Amino acid sequence: MTIGAGLAAVSPADAATATASAYEGSAYGTRVNVGKLVKSGPSAPVFLGCGTKSGVHKENTTAGLNLAPIATSGTVATTADTSSTPSRSRTTATTQQVNLLSGLITASAVKSVSTSTFANGNYSASGAGTTLLNLRIGGTPFDATPAANTSVDLAGIGHVVLNEQLKSVTPSSARLTVNALHLYVDTTGPVFEKGTQVIVSHAFSGIASPKIAALGGKAYGSSLNVGKLVKSGPSFLKVMPCFGTKGVVRSNTGAGVDLGSVLRSGTIRNTVQGSVDRSSAVEETTSTVESANVLNRLVSAEVVKADANASTDGTTRRFNANGSSFLNLNVAGHSGIGDNVGPNTQVRIAGLGTLWLNRVIRTPSSIEVRMIELVVTQTNTSGLAVGTDLRVAVAKTTLR
Cα–Cα distance between 393 and 158 in angstroms, integer? Answer: 36
**10-14, 107-111, 127-131, 389-393: segment of lowest average pLDDT:** 10-14
Find the domain containing 168 and state its range: 7-208
99-158 pLDDT per residue, tens: 999 999 999 999 999 999 999 989 999 999 999 999 999 999 999 999 999 999 999 999
Last residue of a domain, one of 185, 208, 231: 208
Question: Is 17 in a helix, a strand, or coil?
Answer: helix
Do residues 77 and 98 both lie within one domain? yes
Q: What is the CA radius of gyration of the chain?
A: 23
Do residues 66 and 173 both lie within one domain? yes
Do residues 118 and 168 both lie within one domain? yes
- Flag whether 345 is in a domain: yes
Residues of the chain with pLDDT > 90: what percent?
A: 74
In single-letter form, the type of residue at position 6 comes to G
CB 308 within 8 A of CB 395: yes
- What average pLDDT score do residues 161-173 get? 95
| Count of structural domains within the chain | 2
Cα–Cα distance between 304 and 93 in angstroms, integer? Answer: 39
Do residues 220 and 148 both lie within one domain? no
Do residues 67 and 153 both lie within one domain? yes
Question: Structure pTM?
Answer: 0.68
The half-sphere exposure of 267 on its side-chain side, counting CA atoms within 13 A, is: 4
For residue 16, pLDDT over 50 is answered with no
Name the band, by pLDDT with cuts 50, 70 and 90, for residue 63: confident
For residue 175, pLDDT over 90 is answered with yes
For residue 9, pLDDT over 70 is answered with no
Beta strand segments in 235-280, E: 238-239, 250-254, 263-264, 268-276
Dihedrals phi, psi of 333, to nearest 5 degrees? 85, 5
For residue 336, pLDDT over 60 is answered with yes
In single-letter form, the type of residue at position 319 comes to F
304-333 pLDDT per residue, tens: 999 999 999 999 999 999 999 999 999 999
